[in-house]
Amino acid sequence: MTRAASVEPLGPTECRRLMATARLARVGFTDGAMPAIVPVRFAMHDDCALVLAPRAGALVAGVRGSVVVLQVDSFRDDLGPGWSVTAVGPSRVVVAAHEVARIDALGLLSRTSDPDACYIRVQLGMLSGWRVGPPAPAQTSASTSAGEAAMT
């Protein structure tokens, strides 16, 4: 019998801390009036997620000034511990040359493998997250009987 894992909600500070440890995320946006989700490389800076994306891709066209969702997680396997964080906020494609140069100088993401890539800035708005722990150990019938006897 499979037992449910323990789930603990996370506060905004812990959500931000965990997001800063990850480099891969998923961005949810609207593509031609349909929901779309794509994996992206990203880094956190100044309470924003900086996403690296192909300039000619659907993601760049879909996020221009839109509210998007960014989902980040880390799980070892389907039964092990892990966490998941979801951030919802406005996005914008970074186009000003001085902003692009400033982000490049941070060294958080590399555009060298794809010189036509661009940055998308996602401002963190609503944050939610949870930590998933392993299932609680099952009680044996002997410990259940001892617990019942102690209650009587």
Question: pLDDT tens-digit profile of 54-100?
Answer: 888 899 998 888 999 999 999 876 667 899 999 999 999 998 989 98
Cα 59 from Cα 5, distance rounded (Å): 34
pLDDT in tens, 1-22: 556 668 899 999 999 999 999 9
User: Which residues on neighbouring strands pair with residue 72, listed in sequence order?
Assistant: 85
Whether the pTM exceeds 0.85: the reply is no
> How does DSSP classify residue 90?
E
What structural domains and CATH numbers belong to the chain?
5-151 (2.30.110.10)
Helix (H, G, I), strand (E, B) or coil at 101: helix
Pinpoint the alpha helices (H) of the chain: 12-19, 58-63, 97-106, 141-151
